[in-house]
Structure 1
Amino acid sequence: MNPEIMPRVGCGAVLLRENSLLLVYRKRDPERDHWGLPGGKVDPFETLQQAVRREILEETGLQIERMSLLCIVDQIAPDRNEHWIAPVYIAEDFTGNAAVMEPEALGDVKWFPLEQLPRRLTHATQVALQALQDRDVS
């Protein structure tokens, strides 16, 4: 184990509107050319909910009003020397119109019907979708 590799903290959010999920198309690594939940890194001295609100606003222009924790994603990739821990929230109330706010990082922002999601989904998105399904079943 490499003691110089430390877990990093990310965050993301599930945003649903009329049975459609908001996804962003990633132009950068990790997981370049995949669709994923909007989100990003947690900054020092920032709470998780502050980070989620900031990241969603920065990437999509949407303002999250209320949210609750959906799941925690462990993304461990020794081959890339990466280890991320990413809480994923579900936005229960948000406002605005989704748009690409960071064109250097994102190629598109799009609402997908839950039954017609793209094939290339990020790991965190797959874990969150399973958590969402498990939540709806119980």
Structure 2
Amino acid sequence: MAREGVADARVGCGALVRRGDGRIVLVCRRRPPEAGHWGLPGGKVEWMETVEHAVRREVAEETGLVVRLSRLLCVVNHITPATAREDASHWVAPVYLATPITSARALLCEPDALSAVRWFALDDLPTPLTLATQVALRALAET
């Protein structure tokens, strides 16, 4: 239960989508938090929606990709204090490892929220990367 004047943590989700050639899809965020950073496709879990459904929905909404979820890769705790530009935020986000089911052609489907969608080799990633992406890449390397 939220206390008056205190926000609760929000639930997000994401996917590290990897093609057969090992490349991963990343999106460049236009909006806070982490505007201008490259990150995993994902977003918030809607009321009464399963996390797995939210991951598949968010990936499709942002990139046009239909994905199969392989397994839970990690859980990201994204806590940012308030700054002059952004309010404080607290997101808890399960991140799944996923693969495209059909075409691996990623599209920019939400140009208001994202400035680019591209595939990258793991040894040639753009910068800066979102916190969730950094945590997910560390988890992937540990498996």
Task: Judge same fold: TM > 0.5, yes or no.
Answer: yes
Q: Residue by residue, what CA displacement relative to the aligned partner does 1:31-66 show, whole Å, maximum 9, x if unpaired?
A: 000000000000000000000010000000011133
Number of equivalenced pairs: 135
Q: 1:90 aligns with which of 78, 94, 97?
A: 97
Q: 1:2 to 1:31 in 2, by over 3 A?
A: farther
The equivalent of 1:30 in structure 2 is: 33
Runs of 4+ with >3 A deviation: none
- Residues 101/93 of structure 1: CA separation in 2 closer, same or farther (3 Å cut): closer
Give aligned-pair identity as a percent. Answer: 51
In the alignment, structure 2 segments of 5+ residues that lack a partner are: none
- Compared with structure 1, are the counterparts of its residues 74 and 2 closer, same or farther at alpha carbon in structure 2 (3 Å cutoff)? farther
Q: 1:16 aligns to what?
A: 18
TM-score by length of 2: 0.89
Conserved in 1, the CA contact under 8 Å of 2:67 and 2:98?
Answer: yes
**1:24 & 1:76 partners in 2: Cα distance?**
21
Normalized per residue, the structure richer in strand is: 1
Q: Retained in 2: the 8 A contact 1:66–1:94? A: no
CA RMSD of aligned residues (A): 1.5
> Given the alignment of the two structures, is residue 128 of structure 1 paired with residue 131 of structure 2, yes or no?
no
TM-score (norm 1): 0.92
- Is the 8 Å Cα contact of residues 18 and 100 (structure 2) preserved in structure 1? no
